[in-house]
Structure 1
Amino acid sequence: MWGRFHKEWTGAGVSASRTTARRCLQDVGFSCRIPCVKPLLNNRRRQKCLAWAKDKKDWTAAEWSKVMFSDESKFCTSSGNQGPRVWRKRGEAQNAHCLRSSVKFPQSVMVWGAMSSAGVGPLCFLRSKVNAAVYQDVLEHFMFPAADQLNGDADFIFQQDLALAHSAKAISTWFKDHGIPVLNWPGNSPDLNPIENLWGIVKRKMRYARPNNAEELKATIRATWALITPEQCQL
């Protein structure tokens, strides 16, 4: 931002150094920060998100409680593992007791999960790239148990994003054959899915965990996921 102001000042005949420009921005409340990351949305996608929000704005809590949200998320052995801070003196940055080890290519796992206002369902650790066949297996062996656990015999609406495996014709046919309604969903909009908050809870609580391999990582994820309460899932 300082560069834009510096250019404008120079064009207006004002002479100011980079340091002066930066100090002036700080004086009026600006600070240099890393930009937040958000999904890329073009105008068409924004309009679809807005239309979806307007369509759902009058839904009651009872209606939302029928929705079972789902998603996949990637976890790494070093995911969010910043570790504890260290107290050190000047010149001690490279001392052994002041260092935290890192792995160039940490082990990772991909996890599928589901939740509703009643709580969380069982996790599925995916062992291969998710295509339509793999996703159908997840639905049959994990989505159904999650539905029984969270909804019992009550009807529910299933939510999923528009990933290629999710929107495959075979999957659409599968849902129709099983009589499961699927919530219409705008593309590229994870911010609308409350399960993202649960992934965030798990990753924050795992910040100080130090799993050494994929199996320890899975065990840590399972244990942390099991601690999520229904109150945290209320919409």
Structure 2
Amino acid sequence: MASRSKVTETLRQQVVQMKAKGMTISAIAREVGRSKSVISRMLHLYNTTNSFKSHKKAGRPRKTNAREDRIIRRISMSNRFNTATGIARQFSIEQGKDLSRHTVSRRLRTVGLKAHSAVTKPLISRKNQKARLAFAEEHVVWTEEKWSKVHFSDESKFNLFGSDGKHYVRRQTGERLNPKCVKKSVKGGGGSVMVWGMFSATGVGPFIELHGRVNANVYQNLLRQHAVPSLRSSPNQPAVFMQDNAPCHTAKRVKQYLETENIKIMKWPAQSPDLNPKENLWKILGDKVMAKKPTTVTELWKRLKEEWTRITPEQCERLVMSCGRRCAEVIQSNGLYTSY
């Protein structure tokens, strides 16, 4: 059988002559060692153009070869937040060849590196990772009865206006929570109204507007007036109080006050908002309030109070009972990021 090399004009001429002698396409294919579909295309070309020359291919020639495609991928993988324009610029510096951002984008899409909005997660150090893993391993076995005794508290800022803060990153399928593809954040940021709230599996608790800087003294007064009375009136005793590791929460005077009041504190790992269902409650509250489109800070606070009271005990219970699954995900990720 003939070698399957490039189809030449001589071969096309030979095929046409065989067909003119009455040979079938199958017989010609066997004779020249080509498939029947190739023989059919040769004959079709001759019948439509009356020529043995192949037609000129449409479109511009490809800008990059296989080696250059690998270089583009390597540049992208070295910095997942690099834009197509930035990659094209770096490629030009390294290879002395100009490419458009559109060419770069096409090459990256071909290898599965599509641009996505980056997930924003807190920066997790090795120390944080170990603490998160230890917490998850201790609490993943907790029963619903134990979780029902926990009262989750937190502060949050709600913006009257603001951008969605999206950042785009190139990642492959299954890399949504890859640390290299996650936009790290630190706690804080702007906002128009700052609030503190508490909830448990039985429903929402106190909800307070905060003014100015919240130091240890302000926070202790908040606990005395709102948190402690709510904890003592809880139907699920002994109540457990959850707070994160903000400086005002961990101040010496605050710790001493809670010890004096015999309040049981849940030790919380730093940089772990994904373990706190209160973050999801803030999202539910924020979405409901923003749907009302408040235009002033006064109206924003009014809407926040209204929507807080409309959060149902069933919603609260579902969020609290998700804590076991959250712990399981932390264990699965070895202390790193979860889908929460």
Q: TM-score, normalised by structure 2?
A: 0.56
What displacement does 1:55 show? 1.1
Matched residue, 1:98:
none
Q: Helix, strand or coil for the counterpart of 1:115?
A: strand
Q: Helix, strand or coil for the counterpart of 2:133?
A: helix
Tell me which of 102, 116, 119 is aligned to 2:200. 116
Q: In terms of mean alpha carbon deviation, does 154-163 or 30-39 score higher?
A: 30-39
Matched residue, 1:42:
125
Matched residue, 2:150:
67
Equivalent residues of 2:288, 2:307 under 8 A apart: yes
Equivalent residues of 1:2, 1:21 under 8 A apart: no
Q: Distance in 2 between matches of 1:160 and 1:54?
A: 19
Deviations 1:96-115 (A, max 9, x none): xxxxxxxxxx9711100001
What displacement does 1:77 show? 1.7
Unaligned runs of 5+ in 2: 1-71, 77-86, 165-189, 322-340
What displacement does 1:144 show? 2.9
In the alignment, does 2:179 pair up with 1:78?
no
Equivalent residues of 1:80, 1:207 under 8 A apart: no
What displacement does 1:2 show? 5.5
Which one has the largest radius of gyration? 2
What displacement does 1:169 show? 0.5
- TM-align CA RMSD: 2.8
Deviations 1:18-59 (A, max 9, x none): 433311322344321232111011111111111111111111
Equivalent residues of 1:45, 1:187 under 8 A apart: yes
Tell me which of 207, 221, 235 is aligned to 1:137. 221
1:1-235 superposed matches below 5 A: 4-5=75-76, 18-78=101-161, 108-148=192-232, 151-152=234-235, 154-234=237-317, 235=321
Q: TM-score, normalised by structure 1?
A: 0.79
Q: Distance in 1 between matches of 2:163 and 2:284?
A: 11
Amino acid at match of 1:55: E
What displacement does 1:11 show? 7.7
Equivalent residues of 1:72, 1:113 under 8 A apart: yes
List, as ranges, runs of 4+ consecutive aligned residues in structure 1 with deviation greater than 6 Å.
none
Unaligned runs of 5+ in 1: 82-105
What displacement does 1:120 show? 0.6
Q: Which has the higher contact order (CA 8 A, sep 6+)?
A: 1
Query: How many residue pairs are counted as aligned between the two chains?
Result: 210
Q: 1:153 to 1:43 in 2, by over 3 A?
A: closer
Equivalent residues of 1:68, 1:147 under 8 A apart: yes
Q: Helix, strand or coil for the counterpart of 2:290?
A: coil
Structure whose residues are more often helix by fraction: 2
